[in-house]
Structure 1
Amino acid sequence: MQDPQLLQEGLSLMAFGMGFVFIFLTVLVVATTLMSVLMGRLAPTPAPVDSGSRAVKPSQEHDDELMAVISAALHRYRRRR
């Protein structure tokens, strides 16, 4: 093959490949959007959250005990090194 013919074949192959990828990605986006809309319609509505339940805050006693354990671990680690 001659150079101009080879270049033209390469460009047409590139255009075909890029077109195929563009079409595939477009179909993928449309399918994902349709599935999202479908799941939004079919999914049950979430139950209302009870506002009376609150996160339990750890007591000061647990914090003091945790600090003591961390301090002892650091002291032991530094003593070994």
Structure 2
Amino acid sequence: MQDFALLEEGLALMALGMGFVFVFLTVLVIVTTLMSLVLGRFAPEPAKPAAGAPRPPAPARQDDALMAVIGAALHRYRQRHRR
């Protein structure tokens, strides 16, 4: 008889805990959605760039010596760490 009462109490505690977590997560989703709607309504729209605005300059080309050093480092690393 004692085992059955203990099992019943454990199941009731489990249901209470799962119910609490379910209610908390539901409230969290609702509050997050409402917050998103409120901020979307009052936040300013991002400025659109003008059609004739100049583009930023293209990145400069890499130095050939730097590329050679990087290539040599990769070659040495791959030689030491073969699969």
Identity %: 59
Which ranges of structure 1 fall in alignment gaps of 5 or more residues?
A: none
TM-score calculated relative to the size of structure 2: 0.70
Moved over 4 A (4+): none
Equivalent-residue separation in structure 2 for 1:35 and 1:5 (angstroms): 45
Which ranges of structure 2 fall in alignment gaps of 5 or more residues?
A: 78-83
TM-score calculated relative to the size of structure 1: 0.72
Mapping of residues 1-81 of structure 1, within 5 Å: 2-51=2-51, 52-60=53-61, 62-64=62-64, 66-68=66-68, 70=70, 74=73
More helix by share: 1
- Quick one: which amino acid aligns to residue 53 of structure 1? P
- The two structures, once aligned, show a CA RMSD in angstroms of 2.6
Aligned length: 75
Provide, for residues 6-46 of structure 1, a one-character-per-residue CA deviation record: whole Å limited to 9, x for no partner: 00000000000000000000000000000000000010111
Provide, for residues 32-71 of structure 1, a one-character-per-residue CA deviation record: whole Å limited to 9, x for no partner: 00000000001011111234332422344x4435425535
